[in-house]
A and B are shown apart, each in its own frame.
Chain A
């Protein structure tokens, strides 16, 4: 079951903050976040396993609300290097594979 990501695209200036979201219609066991730059492989950012868990990677953090079956990724004080497409991958109970959403395109401009 493919998760839904929103918004589809975000444009922000260097130093600004943004939030991107990922939601599923099925109960989630874990949520992964990846960033992919054009023509490159997706790069792992973080995995969230528990309800309400928050994690951080540099100035990028994420939360996972197991009850609401959704996760949010917070880009704080954005840098030019944050530009790319962010994919969430969701895993469900009893299933080892990740289902990826269509992605959130993030463009950070100077």
Chain B
């Protein structure tokens, strides 16, 4: 597609509920990244995929966070048993292989109540 598409745009979850956030990267982009952005802060790294392989998941804050990219294109970030501190904007970005700039999606704003 023309850009990185994320859905849903907004998600309100009750504490303890599971959520799934979807990212559809630019076609042909090998690298895919998930970031978490709190209000007034810079994006914080969560995890990185190269094609379908998850090469770095060191930024995932707990084992409640899980990400996958089974066919090397669409990726899903799943958060189990959501907590209030999970409230943030979740950004997905994709890029070509090598050292290229990232194209970010518009993000999913998650609010846990």
Contacts and interface: CB of A to CB of B under 8 A. Distances in A.
Interface of A: 2, 30, 32, 34, 40-47, 49, 87, 89, 91, 95-103
26 contacts: A30-B99, A32-B102, A41-B105, A42-B91, A43-B104, A44-B101, A44-B104, A45-B101, A46-B101, A47-B99, A49-B99, A87-B42, A87-B43, A96-B31, A96-B48, A96-B56, A97-B45, A98-B33, A98-B45, A98-B102, A99-B45, A100-B35, A100-B43, A100-B44, A100-B45, A103-B41
A102 B107 contact: no
Interface centre among B43, B50, B104 (most CB of A within 10 A): B43
B104 A47 contact: no
A44 B102 CA distance: 6
Interface residues of B, number: 24
